Amino acid sequence: MKRAIAAMAVVVSIGVAAASWFILLGMYDVGADTPHWNITRKLIEVVRDRSIAARARNVEVPDLRDEQLVLKGAGQYAAMCANCHLAPEQRDSEIRPRLYPRPPNLTEQRVDPKTVFWVTKHGLKMSGMPAWGVGHDDETIWSIVAFVGKLTGLSAEHYKDMVARSPPDEEMNSMDKGGGQEPGKGQETRIREDGADGRSQALSRRKLEKVAWTTITGRPRGAEF
Ligand code: HEC
C-alpha cells in the first residue's frame, strides 16, 4: 500500500513538472491564427456552454414583441454587433475572419433569447465578445435581444430599412449633455447626410468610446465627478 502511494506521488510530481515546463517554456501557441488543439477546444466549449447555461437559466424574458423595441435594437445591432456577427446577405466583414474563435453569423444561427441577453450583457472571456452591459442598461440589451430574434431570414433591404427607422439613441444624447463633450448635433447632421450606414458608423464609434471610458474610469460617461 505504502509503495503504491509512493509510486503515485512520483507519477503525479512528474506530471506537474512536465506541465509546468511546457507552460513556462511558452510551448503552447496562443496566436489567434493557429487553432487550439482539439482537446483544448472541446474543454473550452464545454466550460463556456455550461457556464452560460447555468447563468442564463434564471433570466426572465420580458415581452419582446413591441415594434419600437425591435426597431431600437436594429440600430444598436448595426452599430455594435454587425461588424462581428454580420448583417443579412453580408458575406463577411473585415474583422470576422481574423477573430478566433470566429463570431457566429447571427443572421443564420438562431440563439435563444436568455443566452443572447446573458452573453450580450456579460461578454465572453478570451474570445473578443465584449461585455455590452458596461455602459448599457438592461432595456437597451433587451432591445438588441428582440431584434436578434427577428434577424434570421431578414432580407438586406428590410434590415437597412429597420436600421434607418430606429429611434435616436437617448443614451448617447444624455451622454453628450452630461459629458461636457460637443453636443449631439454633429451626430445628427451626419445621420441626415449619410443615411443608415453613416449613422451606424457614427454610433459605433461613440459606443466604443463610451465603453472604453467606463472601463478605464469605472464611471459611466457623463456622471457627476
Ligand atoms: C469584436 C467582435 C464582437 C462584437 C462587436 C460582438 N461580438 Fe458577439 N461574439 C464574438 C465572438 C468572438 C463570439 C464567440 C465566442 C465563442 O465562440 O466562444 C461571440 C458570441 C456571441 C454570442 C453567443 C452565440 C452562441 O451561439 O452562443 C452572442 C449571442 C453574441 N455574441 C451576441 C452579440 C451581440 C448582440 C453583439 C452586439 C451588441 C455582439 N455579440 C458584438 C465577438 C463579437
Asked whether residue 203 carries a pLDDT value surpassing 80, the answer given is: no
Q: Is 211 in the pocket of ligand 1 (CB under 6 A)?
A: no
Q: Is 84 in the pocket of ligand 1 (CB under 6 A)?
A: yes
pTM: 0.79
Asked whether residue 71 carries a pLDDT value surpassing 60, the answer given is: yes
Counts of helices then strands in the chain (DSSP H, E):
9, 0
Ligand 1 centre from 175 Cα, in Å? 25
Q: Is 162 in the pocket of ligand 1 (CB under 6 A)?
A: no
Instruction: Please write the tens of the pLDDT for every residue from 25-66.
Output: 999 999 999 999 999 999 999 999 999 999 999 999 999 999
Counting from 1 in the atom list of ligand 1, the atom nearest the Cα of 102 is 12
Asked whether residue 215 carries a pLDDT value surpassing 50, the answer given is: yes
Q: 87, exposed or middle or buried, with CB in 10 Å at 0-12, 13-18, 19+?
A: buried
Q: Pick the residue whose CA is nearest to atom 15 on ligand 1.
A: 127
Q: Rounded to a whole number, what is the distance in angstroms from the first to the last CA of the chain?
A: 67
Q: How many CB atoms lie within 10 A of CB 149?
A: 18
> Would you state the pLDDT for residue 168?
81
Bigger pLDDT: 214 vs 181: 214
Asked whether residue 225 carries a pLDDT value surpassing 60, the answer given is: no
